[in-house]
Amino acid sequence: MRKGFTIVIYTFFPPLWYSVLEEFAVRLVCLDLEGVLVPEIWIAFSEVTGIPEFRRTTRDEPDYDKLMRFRIELLREHNLKLADIQKVIGGMDVLEGAMDFVRSLRERTQFVILSDTFEQFARPLMAKLGYPTLFCNTIETSACGSVSGYRLRQQNGKKHAVAAFKTLNFKVFAAGDSFNDLAMIEEADSGCLFRAPDAIRKDYAHLPCADSYGDLMGEIDVFLGS
């Protein structure tokens, strides 16, 4: 009898069922890492090595595989290894204001970092951010420590992560600064760009763009209150 009663309610009153799900949906914020909470790792590496080609990032190149193959070849040409990159990262700090922003965000809601960086890069930076949850990728190295390749956790992983959270009845806000963040922002229930370059702002003018942590928190507060 109980099973039949459940089926009758779901069959004849679907709007009621969906409104209950909507009411209990939990808010979740998904953020990019580099350019949002920490400086761009490859730009910092470029400054230390004096090799300007390393400055090219996902803010400039929408094809991530093309960009990574370019970086790996450049590392090989200059005989630079994973340890050289990690040494630079070890001297990096989070962006000014990032820790205050993270603390305020945690007081408001849960958040997850969705990044195309690599676990071998991110560890010291995660320590400085208080070890938030991070979904990222993996660098592959040879026996001598040279970067030989990379392994994606999933193709278009940021977008798929947001889509998966939504199936778990999360309402999702997403923010990032680069080409590889656009799919997750557009997949999310709400979101915005953060300090994005002019080319992205122009081509995606329908997306709001925050230029300070105060502006970003304002966008998040609107989402949390919706």
pLDDT tier at 12, thresholds 50, 70, 90: very low
Answer yes or no: are the C-beta atoms of 210 and 14 closer than 8 Å: no
Active-site residue, from 22, 23, 32, 211: 32
pLDDT, residue 25, reads 75
pLDDT, residue 1, reads 40
DSSP track, 68-131: HHHHHHHHHHTT--HHHHHHHHHT--PPTTHHHHHHHHHHH-EEEEEEEEEHHHHHHHHHHTT-
Look up residue 54 and give its DSSP letter. G
The whole-angstrom separation of Cα 195 and Cα 193 is: 7
Is 34 part of the annotated catalytic residue set? Answer: yes
Q: Could you report the per-residue pLDDT of 31-55, keeping only the tens digit for each?
A: 999 999 999 999 999 999 999 999 9
- Which pairing describes strands 147-151 and 133-141: parallel, antiparallel, or unpaired? antiparallel
Instruction: Give the burial string for 189-203 (b: 16+ CB within 10 Å, else e).
Output: bbbbbbbbeeebeee
Q: Does residue 10 have a pLDDT over 60?
A: no
Helices (H) and strands (E) in the chain, counts: 11, 7
Edge-to-edge strands, sheet with 170-176: 147-151, 133-141, 110-118, 26-31, 170-176, 190-194, 209-210
Q: How far does the chain reach from its first CA to its final CA, in angstroms?
A: 38
25-224 homologous superfamily: thrh gene product, domain 2 (3.90.1470.10)
pLDDT, residue 95, reads 98
Q: What share of the chain is helix, strand, coil (3-state, %, to 5)?
A: 50, 20, 30
Answer yes or no: are the C-beta atoms of 67 and 34 closer than 8 Å: no
Q: Could you report the per-residue pLDDT of 70-83, keeping only the tens digit for each?
A: 999 999 999 999 99
Active-site residue, from 22, 23, 34, 119: 34
Where do the structural domains in the chain lie, given as residue ranges?
25-224
Q: How large is the average pLDDT for residues 142-162?
A: 95
Is 100 part of the annotated catalytic residue set? Answer: no
For residue 137, the surrounding DSSP H or E stretch is: strand 133-141
